[in-house]
């Protein structure tokens, strides 16, 4: 009888979890987002950061090419990353026979977007004011917060990824000159690593 009760409780918890979380998130989307981020980081380094020399807390004069190059690279990276994530999750949803735009998805997108849009606006402000060195730590911190916030509505592993990215962002504040490297590790390598981990865990 006791075993029966225990398994009932476990089943109830499991069902509450599965029915209220977005479970189509998968390793492939993490890996693709990471690879795109690495390309973005390289382009930002080659086209913008390399020319700027030593970066510190002092604002620099934002010239037209710096502004438009950086914004263009950032937006392209963001858009392509979103498209690839949507592509891979949609594919997974079809396999799991889930509607992609259901309640769970809406909740996930809204809760991910709130810190992310806030961070985007704050970063745009600092970019316009010339505090270019702050952009890499701040994007990391806000992205990490967004993941932690969204983790309640999807796979729990996302929470750990978010916390690691926040820590990287805070560390990056102390090494402003190497911001783009921290960015490449946080947005690129960590996503790829988590993607691989998720892929591996599901298969085994």
Partner 1 sequence: MRELLNDLDKAFENKVRMGIMSALYVNEYLDFSTLKNLLGVTDGNLASHLKALEKREYLVFKKEFLNRKPNTKYYATKTGKDAFKKHIGAIEKLLNNK
3-state secondary structure of 21: coil
Report how far residue 115's alpha carbon sits from residue 181's, in angstroms, rounded to the nearest whole number. Answer: 23
Residue 170 tokens read as 């805070």
Closest to partner 1 by CB, 11 vs 117, is 11
Per-residue HEC secondary structure of 67-97 comes to HHHHHHHHHHHHHHHHHHHHHHHHHHHHHHC
User: Dihedral through CA 22, CA 26, CA 32, CA 33, nearest 10?
Assistant: 30
- Rounded Cα distance, 9 and 162, in Å: 30
Residue 95 lies near partner 1 (rule: CB under 8 A): no
**Whose Cβ is closer to partner 1: residue 11's or residue 52's?**
11
110 binds partner 1 (CB under 8 A): no
Least separation, in Å, of the C-beta of 161 and partner 1?
24
For partner 1, the binding residue among 57, 63, 96, 174 (CB under 8 A) is: 96
Six token digits for residue 116: 């992310």
Is 3 or 54 the residue whose CB approaches partner 1 more closely? 3
**Are residues 144 and 166 in contact, defined by beta-carbon separation less than 8 angstroms?**
yes
Residue 10 binds partner 1, judged by CB under 8 A: no
DSSP-based three-state secondary structure for 154: strand
Measured from the CB atom, is 9 or 124 closer to partner 1? 9
Q: Identify which of residues 22 and 142 has a Cβ nearer to partner 1 in the complex.
A: 22
13-32 residues in contact with partner 1 (CB under 8 A) are 13, 15-16, 18-20
Using rule CB under 8 A, residue 8 touches partner 1: yes
Stretch that binds partner 1, among 12-20, 25-33, 73-81, 111-119 (CB under 8 A): 12-20
Torsion of CA 174, 179, 182, 187, to 10 degrees: 130
Which of 65, 94, 102, 124 is close enough to bind partner 1 by CB under 8 A? 102
Residues forming the site for partner 1 (CB under 8 A): 2, 5-6, 8-9, 11-13, 15-16, 18-20, 96-99, 102-103
């Amino acid at each position: 009888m006791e075993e029966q009760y225990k398994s009932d409780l476990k089943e109830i918890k499991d069902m509450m979890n599965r029915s209220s979380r977005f479970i189509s998130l998968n390793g492939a989307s993490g890996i693709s987002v990471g690879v795109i981020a690495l390309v973005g980081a390289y382009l930002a380094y080659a086209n913008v950061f390399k020319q700027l020399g030593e970066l510190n807390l002092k604002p620099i004069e934002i010239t037209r090419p710096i502004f438009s190059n950086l914004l263009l690279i950032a937006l392209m990276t963001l858009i392509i990353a979103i498209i690839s994530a949507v592509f891979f999750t949609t594919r997974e949803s079809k396999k799991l026979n889930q509607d992609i735009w259901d309640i769970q998805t809406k909740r996930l997108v809204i809760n991910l977007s709130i810190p992310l849009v806030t961070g985007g606006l704050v970063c745009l402000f600092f970019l316009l004011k010339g505090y270019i060195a702050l952009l890499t730590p701040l994007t990391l911190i806000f992205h990490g917060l967004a993941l932690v916030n969204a983790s309640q509505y999807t796979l729990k592993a996302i929470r750990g990824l978010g916390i690691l990215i926040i820590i990287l962002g805070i560390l990056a504040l102390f090494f402003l000159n190497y911001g783009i490297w921290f960015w490449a590790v946080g947005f690129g390598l960590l996503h790829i690593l988590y993607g691989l981990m998720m892929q591996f865990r599901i298969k085994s």
